[in-house]
Amino acid sequence: MIDRFWQQAYRFRWFIGPAALVFLAVTVRVLWSGYQDLAVADQARKAGLKTTAVEFYGRAARWHFPLIGAQNPAGDRLMDLCWELERSGDNKTALSCFREARGAVLSTRWLLGTQSGILENANQAIARIVAMEKGPDGKPVLAVDRHLELLNRDLTPNPWLSALAILLFFMWVGAAGLGAWRSTTREGRVDWKRFARHLGVSAVFLVLWLLTLRYA
């Protein structure tokens, strides 16, 4: 069985090799850029450049790679800076900071969810700071509860259904391509019965793909 596995792997070497190189290149790029931006943010914070630190912490948090990426330390340090800005009374910069943290979390959503703790704290802080702004009537421009309701509204696609949609798309295209290839003889003739069977399978994947897109 092991020999058969390596035989199959050797057959697909022209696909596996380039795919592995692409994956390695992307991994190195994400990790390198994430930790580089994190280092810049730390230096900017020490130098008192709070706005620059917010920007680069947000950039580092967006270079998301599961388990070993810079997103976790970047997110934690960004929120720590946000709390510091709010305590100092700089609500304008603090609001931008919390919004940066929220955007970083939402932009890196994946199959196992988001950094929900950061998102929840950022939403509450944004609603609280905005509620301090008063309108002409002396009342808050937007009440905390109403603002939280808007911030907590999840309009992003379901990540599991999105992943399934991608898989079904390739299965649809693959079934159609495989059917066309297997249904054509060396003489260039088409076996229409075999082609119809493959076309039926492809149509099923097409319908499932469209339904997944509809409910994702």
Give percent above pLDDT 90 in the chain.
Answer: 42
Alpha-carbon span 148 to 98, nearest angstrom: 14
Give the three-state DSSP class for 110.
strand
4 within some domain: no
Q: Look at the chain and report how many structural domains it folds into.
A: 2
Domain boundary among 137, 156, 175: 156
C-alpha triplet 120, 48, 84: angle, nearest 5°? 30
* Whole-number pLDDT of residue 7: 57
pLDDT over 80 (residue 37): yes
Res 185 pLDDT > 80: no
The verdict on residue 6 lying in a domain is no
Max avg pLDDT among 7-16, 25-34, 183-192: 25-34
Residue ending a domain, choose from 114, 138, 156: 156
Neighbours of 97 (CB within 10 A): 29
Residues 172 and 122 in one domain: no
Spell out the alpha helix ranges (H) of 142-184. 144-151, 159-182
Same domain for 133 and 166, yes or no, is no
CATH code for the domain of 63? 1.25.40
Domain that holds residue 210: 160-215
Measured over the CA atoms of residue 152, residue 154, residue 156 and residue 157, the dihedral's sign is: positive
The larger pLDDT score, comparing residue 39 to residue 15, is at 39
**26, part of any domain:** yes
Q: What angle do CA 74, 80, 83 make, to 5 degrees?
A: 140
| 73 has pLDDT over 90 | yes
Q: Does 183 share its domain with 146? A: no
